[in-house]
Structure 1
């Protein structure tokens, strides 16, 4: 860890995975920052996520990999796709040994709270300000003025908006644009190991594909629970908040007639969360002067490639490198950061959106063609542009 320097006053708005990762990588680069989080305590809502090699290698460089591995589940059995009605296996991708050989790291499943705790461990406690809800960002030639709900104000030389899909900071760098209604909602729940069937405990990410819907499960929290996330038509439901819940009966109704193993998992879970997937077109620019965006504030994407958290970690690593390299010219540093990241994240937004239609084909010729493609494909290789990517190496090559 380099000695900390007296560089620009950096304010990070948002204390989620992306905001804390930004703080961690800035500290690693020798800079200091303050993380402003509106919640009274740091806690990641949601349940599980998959952490692929492109993010794992960056966690290793933060020197937090041992903490991460305490609770992460290696997906050594890999990925499998199953047919909705009878569980017929459409495709299997074994990861054990292959992932490390191709990309130098394994793929893991983890509870979001455990990943948040991992990146938080690399951020000094005194850098974090809780209960600080930013209400406005006023650009200035030499930085920005931040206003908070409690009436306080802060001047910063650099502002990083890591405040998610409803970003306040985004309004200071991009023209306001309402999200588009995707017509899809997601259900999520967690099943304790003792209540889960044996097949769901395998170290695999299993995706059941059916007409208009798909259902995903994998073990998390050191194997003590099974994470479930499922996607179905939203109807007139448009609430994007992760705090919104549904009933088990509503969840069950969406997957009535599916393989009993799916419906049994739904029954075994607790009260499910439910949120609408709203679509946002990629931004052409996400920096203005000394203000920039990171993670979902810059490039929210559907979760169908499991890259949302990974891309925020990549953003954080690249942003820290750019600011450290040009600490005396933050505006140029932010331009370099945006230029390095926008093409990749836009591509991921686009392929994630396309996957929605592929996963939800109705039974018939197109579905049969998709299943044949899945059986013949090698997604670990074909998606090497995602998993083999080294964000820091790409910046310096």
Structure 2
């Protein structure tokens, strides 16, 4: 590994959003690091995601926000809840001025690939090692050792596991972790704007909710596409994979009888992906020796608060701040990082799990009470604990 004399040798396993964010923030604090990714090209599977103010502020801090907004879409309406059968609006946020007034940044939607490209622009190409498939992570005392399929062995001073929901670094740190079937599967797809109905092309993050199902849509890719992600009861052929596919007819069957406008949107989609949502309890620790976790490797969460990518970016920022504050004692810095991040991410894991029940209530008294509560709520303010978070303030307050 290339390193500056006297500086810790940092290895990041995983070249997704979390790994690139960590690399960018570490570089911003003067640390060099090597990022290892098993794929031969840095491309992000999946489709769209939401970048709320807590993440947008950090992209600005990294100096990549301008690059990001070249293809991102600034939201005017967010968390617009609609009733499944007729599209009646239950609640909506005015994001046009509310986000700036309350949190200092806008909310955006973006294709994952474009967020990845923005983050990569802050990472030196020579530090990114592609086609590096890790076959084992082991500990020699407190020293993490990476072994790759090509025969290379790496013994870094610090190892950051950003290798996703099936993390091998997590397995080495905490051992096997229990998963539960959530009973929910997700479909994701893109609709070319020229095929999408006009209502779906608005700069709005719209959620249609109904019995056992809900569907979210918003524009991405400079408004060239509409991203949709739908949730339904899991079938026997659902797996936890970004690459499994379904058919449009299967997705239409799940939403038969829903508002015809929504059915029209689904019918226009390209081949949808499908994956099962597995439920995982928050970890009680994610450090061991000189190794730590971030992003989905540390705290995979249901996507119902649209915070998975944002929390990975926050992780990278806090980790870099902690290491910069105590560069001579990496173990203590990693411990401080975990202590700062675990309560927040565990809370988001819990509230995201709870939303899966609330969104899928059958019609009846409980659903009517939920709809009334939505109509009276101000979600932009209610979610302030999410959107106002500032890593520098959090780290400073912990000293």
TM tier, smaller: over 0.9
> How far apart are residue 5 of structure 1 and its match?
6.8
Q: How does 1:136-155 map to 2 (within 5 A)?
A: 136-141=136-141, 143-155=143-155
Q: How does 1:5-20 map to 2 (within 5 A)?
A: 6-20=6-20
Q: How does 1:305-344 map to 2 (within 5 A)?
A: 305-344=305-344
CA–CA distance in 1 between the matches of 2:376 and 2:5? Answer: 53
Structure 1 runs of 4+ aligned residues shifted over 2 Å read: 140-143
1:97 alignment partner, SS class: helix
CA–CA distance in 2 between the matches of 1:80 and 1:24? Answer: 33
How many residue pairs match? The answer is 395
Unaligned 5+ segments in structure 1 are none
> How far apart are residue 134 of structure 1 and its match?
1.0
Unaligned 5+ segments in structure 2 are none
> How far apart are residue 321 of structure 1 and its match?
1.0
> Which residue of structure 2 lines up, in the alignment, with residue 232 of structure 1?
232
> How far apart are residue 85 of structure 1 and its match?
0.5
> Which residue of structure 1 lines up, in the alignment, with residue 77 of structure 2?
77
Query: Which stretch has the larger CA shift, 174-183 or 203-212?
Result: 174-183
1:243 is the counterpart of 2:243: yes
> How far apart are residue 155 of structure 1 and its match?
1.3
1:241 alignment partner, SS class: coil
Do the aligned partners of residues 128 and 173 (structure 1) sit closer, same or farther apart at CA in structure 2, a change above 3 Å counting? same
> Which residue of structure 1 lines up, in the alignment, with residue 187 of structure 2?
187
Do the aligned partners of residues 60 and 372 (structure 1) sit closer, same or farther apart at CA in structure 2, a change above 3 Å counting? same
1:45 is the counterpart of 2:45: yes
CA–CA distance in 2 between the matches of 1:208 and 1:6? Answer: 55
1:389 is the counterpart of 2:389: yes
CA–CA distance in 2 between the matches of 1:392 and 1:140? Answer: 34
> How far apart are residue 133 of structure 1 and its match?
1.0
Query: Are the equivalent residues in 2 in contact too, given 1:53–1:107 (CA < 8 A)?
Result: yes
Q: How does 1:328-367 map to 2 (within 5 A)?
A: 328-367=328-367
TM-score scaled by length of structure 1: 0.98
Q: How does 1:1-397 map to 2 (within 5 A)?
A: 6-141=6-141, 143-397=143-397
Query: Which stretch has the larger CA shift, 19-28 or 136-145?
Result: 136-145
2:114 alignment partner, SS class: helix
Query: Are the equivalent residues in 1 in contact too, given 2:23–2:35 (CA < 8 A)?
Result: yes
CA–CA distance in 1 between the matches of 2:342 and 2:355? Answer: 20
Query: Which stretch has the larger CA shift, 183-192 or 90-99?
Result: 90-99
> How far apart are residue 142 of structure 1 and its match?
5.7
> How far apart are residue 369 of structure 1 and its match?
0.3
CA–CA distance in 1 between the matches of 2:337 and 2:140? Answer: 20
2:228 alignment partner, SS class: strand
> How far apart are residue 392 of structure 1 and its match?
2.0
> How far apart are residue 283 of structure 1 and its match?
0.2
CA–CA distance in 2 between the matches of 1:379 and 1:80? Answer: 10
> How far apart are residue 68 of structure 1 and its match?
0.7
